Structures are given as C-alpha cells and as structure tokens.
Structure 1
Amino acid sequence: MERELTSRSDVQQARPHVPEITMVSPARSAALPTAALRILLGLAWTANAALKWFPAFGASFLSMLTGESQDQPAFLKPWFNLVTGIASDGRAPFLALGTAAMETYLAVALLTGFARKVTYVVGAVYTALIWATAEGFGGPYVPGASTDVGAAIIYTLLFLTLLINDAGVGFSRLSLDSILERRLPGWRRVAELDWGRPRVSRVADR
C-alpha cells in the first residue's frame, strides 16, 4: 500500500517536459531582403566608384559643374555660382579625388555591412548634395525637355529606406557590424538605429 501511495505521489509531482517555443518578431524575417538590397546597392556604388578613379573624371569635374549651372532659374544662380567658385582655382582635381574616395567608402561599407547607420546617413546626405550640384536639382525643368528629377535623389531615397528598414530589422548577421558588435558593445550606436528593434521571447505552455 505504501509503495502505491509513493508511486502516485511521484507521478503527481513529476511534470512533463514542455518544449520551449521561440517566437521571433516578423521584422526578423525582413533581415535577409534588407541585406540583399544593401549588397545590390553596394554593387552599383562599386561601378560608380570605379568610374570616378579615371583621370578623365577629374579633368572634366569643373566643366561638369559649370554646365549644370547653365539655364538654371535666376533664384538658383547664387547657389551654382558658389559651387563653381569652390571648384575653381585648381581645387577641382582634389574635389574629384574626394568624390572618388567617398564613393569607394560607400561601396565597401554597403557590401560588407560596415557602420550601417552612419553609412546610410552619410550616403543620403552625399547623394542629396550631388543632386543639388552636379545634377542641378534634376533641372532645369523645361516642359518637353525635362523627363525626370535626376538619379541622385533616388539614391537618397534608397539610403533612407535602408536606414528605416534596418531600424525595424535590428541586428543583421550578414554584416561586418555583427562581428564588431560582439567585440565592441559600443559599436552598436554606430551600426544600428534602436527605434523599432524586434524582440525575441520564449514562451512555454504551462
């Protein structure tokens, strides 16, 4: 009788093993497409950067800016006079070299996933500056002559899209940042925007 009571007590006390269920935020599933978009954009910037290292780019840098300043509206003339003035007096080759270096950085950073948050912000500002100078704000907007707003502003929107998307996705394994964050905890401030970070929780049925 004692043995029966003991065995029943053991059965009542023993709890069956309940496997833990990992619930991942849906945003986590967006990590791969976001990384793929970043890498594809990096390939485009690799081509852009390679073309900027040719001597012909530096030789035509000032004339390119001067050409864009033609036929612009009167209220934009002071801006383009400032831009061409900065590039004059022998400074054009150095500005062309800086352009090539910047685009090389963007290409490498996008391909490797290095300092993503900073890279996206720098890329957005840089391409907006290109749009406002070398592309003349996409203008002059003349009916029948102008057909689009320029290519650089599209790059700006892509960089902002990546910045917002990465804020929702959070940690990205397909990036150099994932390695640096493990070794340097403070690197996360450079790599990621914390807004909208997905959370991973474990739920066990009781």
Structure 2
Amino acid sequence: MAAGDMVEEAKTKELQVASQEKQQILEFESYLAAASTKQTITEQTSLLLTQLITMDPTGPPRKPPQSILDQLRTLNASHRMGHLLCRSRHPDFLLDIIQRQGASQSMPWLADLVENSEGALSHLPVQCLCEFLLSSSSMLLQPERQNKRQQLLLHLQGVLTDPGQDPQAACEVLEYFLRRLSSTQTTSRQQAIKGLKLVLSSVITEEEPMDVDTGESTAET
C-alpha cells in the first residue's frame, strides 16, 4: 500500500524482524535439545522454524508463510472468500483500502473484483462501483466487458431512482461525485462530470449504447 522508499523500508524492517526471530527460535530449540538429545540445531535440522512465530499483536505486520498464502488462494477459489470479506461494512475494509491506495493502485484488483461479482453488485460499496466506473472507462468499452458495464450502470441508476433502495446509498453515490467535483485536479473533476452524466442518464439499452468517455448516446440522430 506504500510506495517508493516506504516500500523498501518496510521490506528491510520485515527482514530484520524475521532474522532476529529465527535466531531466537534456534536458541530456544537448541536449549531444548541440550536437555534431551544434545543435538546441534541448525536451520537445516530445526523442526520449529516452520511452526513458531513471535506472538506480538502490536508489532509490525508480517508476511505469512508461502504455505498459508497458497491455502488462502485455494479457499478463495473454492469458497469465494474475497467476495465474502468484501461484504463487511463494520468496518468497511474494502472502501478503506481503496481510499488509501488511490485509483491507480487499486484498479487492477478492483476491476477483477467488480467483473467477477456475478451480479451481486449490492455487496460492494457504491464508492467502489463509482471508482471503477470512472477509472476504467477504456476497459469497459471492450466488447467482452459491455455486459458488466451495463449491469454496473443500471445498478447505480437503480440506487438513485428505485424507491426500494436505501436512501443512504443514494446519498453516498452523489457525495462521491460531489467530492470529485471539488477536487483541485482538473482530471478528477472531468471524470466526475462524465460519471454524473452516466448515472443520471436514462437507462442504457443495447440498441443505444452510451459512450463512457462523453456520457452521450452514440446512436445516430
């Protein structure tokens, strides 16, 4: 989530913590071996290095072992854990990550998340959907992603117009675009205007597609 020197600093600190922890585990295991087998413990003969970790809840974040990462990938593929976690709203971890990363860093995985939502767009924060709409207009214009664009726009339009929707969600959509309109960056304000044109326009149909870059109908008049 960091950039530049902060990334290198975090990596260096993690290596230092891991190295110190490794020595502590080896010393502990050597102490146990001295009282029993009297075997000399090294990294190659250690049984505890892959099983122990320092219990420090307030310490620096640690990278999980590769085996744990592989297990998480398997669970995510079989049980869609990522999508289930995205439903958390108290606190809303997904929205917090997007706000801290910014569009440029969050878009690669955010695009995959939205495209694989399988119609369950209501499980994602409306700010997440608005960010995806504004930041991925060029991707949404690709033929294979037209259906997802259609679903996304119809969903956001429904949030604003459907009486059965939560009024708070409609406020969050408008607040998102208004915050963009108050940005000091011209590009951000232009994106907000285009986004408002899209979500406030009439329902888009396949016969009359909408140009995401201009917010105008592409049908001939």
Q: What is the TM-score with the length of structure 2 in the denominator?
A: 0.25
Larger CA Rg, structure 1 vs 2 = 1
Structure number with the higher helix fraction is: 1
With CA pairs under 8 Å and 6+ residues apart, which has the higher RCO, 1 or 2? 1
Q: What is the TM-score with the length of structure 1 in the denominator?
A: 0.26
